[in-house]
Amino acid sequence: MVLVVYVNEQLSSRKIIEILDNNPDLEKITCPISIYTRISKKYMDALNELGIEVEPVQRRGRPKKYGSNEATKIQSMLDKGESPKAISQKLNLPIKTVYYLKNSSLKRGRKVKYTSEKAKEVKKLYNKGIPAKRISKNLKIPLRTIYLLIKR
């Protein structure tokens, strides 16, 4: 005797009949919001006449492992100047989790080699009509990087 059924695919007349055949005492059908918004008004009315409520489920899936408590700890440690690696070791968390839970503009990976001023200079020279190859030679910046700076 099942009173509530979770459905994770589009409801069609065939699917509804299958659900009702398998669960004659059904009172409620739950589904994700994305499916709930696409259910036909005819199907909703028919289910209401049968006394079956259709309700969207807000959140399903794996629950979060770390909460806002860990995120605030990580952020305060970052604000004090600690490195993500040190935080990872102190809190016994994976370093990826530290980067995921942080709220600052700290990014993993290489530092930017050329500043925005250098990029502006390259764009200015390029807009004046100087070929990228010559800009590369004069500023001693690889040609490929010149094109990236122009796009930036």
Tens digit of pLDDT for each residue in 87-134?
Answer: 999 999 898 888 888 765 555 567 778 888 999 999 999 999 999 999
The structure tokens 């860990």 sit at: 70
| Mean pLDDT for the stretch of residues 15-24 | 90
Closest CA to 28 of 12, 62, 13, 36: 36
CA dihedral angle for residue 143, residue 117, residue 109, residue 133, rounded to 10 degrees = 0
Q: Please state, for a pLDDT cut of 90, what percent of the chain lies above it.
A: 43
Q: Is the pLDDT of residue 147 over 70?
A: yes
| Mean pLDDT for the stretch of residues 131-141 | 93
